[in-house]
């Protein structure tokens, strides 16, 4: 469950980060090159009078990743909902996510408790703006559950996850990812569903379930370009401690 980063417990900032990492990581944002099945995006559309084939899920994700990576610094609002296993409702948090791909991602939670996370390359910072102490450290893409979603190339994700289109609309596609057998034994994530806006190539929604049955959902809106200066730098007024 996401909580404010407080002195004395900020040594565990990676736990609340996993939800936000999955948000961007499922797109394979740091990778280059074609995705598994991306060639399907180049195939001609079906003739009139025949059923349109479902789009390749990897092609949709690859296109979204390329669009985001080429857009420069962007920011969007998010609403994050967390429902514990066995409950029908849970907690809700709101804030902003900033992206400067393929290098940096930042999350600023505003409600109900302020806290911020910054990830650049494999370095991470976590702090509460109401405090003057924070935690910093490095992330290992292989050993941290769920971080492969962010840090591995999308073609490698195709070796680890099954992907399929579950629903489509006029301007959106819903894609479900499930870890393959070998990965399923060592990751907390059991399934994730992404809704991609095919008109803007932006993520609208991410919902996923962990091994204990807890459910997390992100809704994103209001993507816009922003000035990156200072936004992707750790605050100098924070006293940093190593994780």
* CATH number where 114 lies: 2.50.20
- 171 part of a folded domain: no
- 41 part of a folded domain: no
- 22 part of a folded domain: yes
Instruction: Pull the structure tokens for residue 193.
Output: 């569903």
**Range(s) of the domain holding residue 62:** 14-35+54-160+224-238
- 29 part of a folded domain: yes
The CB density around residue 237, as the number of other CB atoms within 10 Å, is 8
- 134 part of a folded domain: yes
Contact indicator for 109, 116 with CB cutoff of 8 Å: yes
- 76 part of a folded domain: yes
> Is the pTM for the entire model greater than 0.95?
no
Question: Which has the closest alpha carbon to 107: 215, 19, 209, 189?
Answer: 19
- 108 part of a folded domain: yes
Q: What is the pLDDT of residues 196-232, one digit of tens each?
A: 999 999 989 988 888 889 998 989 999 999 999 999 9
- 23 part of a folded domain: yes
Q: What is the pLDDT of residues 152-210, one digit of tens each?
A: 566 777 788 899 999 999 999 999 989 888 777 777 778 888 899 999 999 899 888 88
Question: Which has the closest alpha carbon to 73: 104, 47, 45?
Answer: 104
Q: State the total domains in the chain.
A: 1
Looking at the DSSP bridge assignments, the partners of residue 223 are none
Cα angle: 204, vertex 210, 213; to 5 degrees: 110
């Amino acid at each position: 469950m996401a909580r404010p980063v407080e002195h004395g417990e900020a040594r565990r900032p990676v736990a609340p980060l996993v939800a936000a990492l999955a948000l961007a990581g499922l797109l394979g944002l740091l990778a280059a090159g074609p995705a598994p099945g991306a060639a399907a995006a180049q195939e001609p559309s079906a003739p009139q009078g025949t059923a349109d084939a479902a789009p390749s899920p990897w092609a949709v994700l690859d296109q979204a990743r390329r669009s985001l990576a080429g857009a420069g610094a962007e920011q969007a609002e998010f609403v994050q909902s967390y429902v514990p296993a066995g409950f029908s409702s849970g907690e809700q948090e709101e804030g902003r996510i900033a992206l400067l791909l393929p290098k940096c991602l930042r999350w600023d939670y505003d409600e109900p408790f302020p806290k911020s996370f910054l990830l650049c390359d494999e370095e991470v910072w976590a702090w509460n703006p109401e405090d003057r102490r924070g935690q910093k450290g490095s992330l290992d893409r292989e050993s941290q559950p769920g971080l492969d979603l962010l840090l591995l190339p999308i073609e490698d994700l195709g070796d680890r996850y099954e992907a399929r289109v579950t629903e489509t609309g006029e301007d959106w596609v819903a894609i479900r990812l499930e870890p393959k057998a070998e990965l399923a034994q060592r990751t907390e994530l059991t399934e994730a569903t992404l809704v991609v806006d095919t008109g803007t190539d932006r993520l609208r929604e991410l919902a996923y379930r962990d091994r204990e049955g807890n459910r997390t959902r992100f809704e994103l809106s209001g993507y816009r370009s922003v000035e990156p200066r200072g936004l992707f730098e750790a605050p100098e007024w924070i006293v940093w401690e190593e994780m």
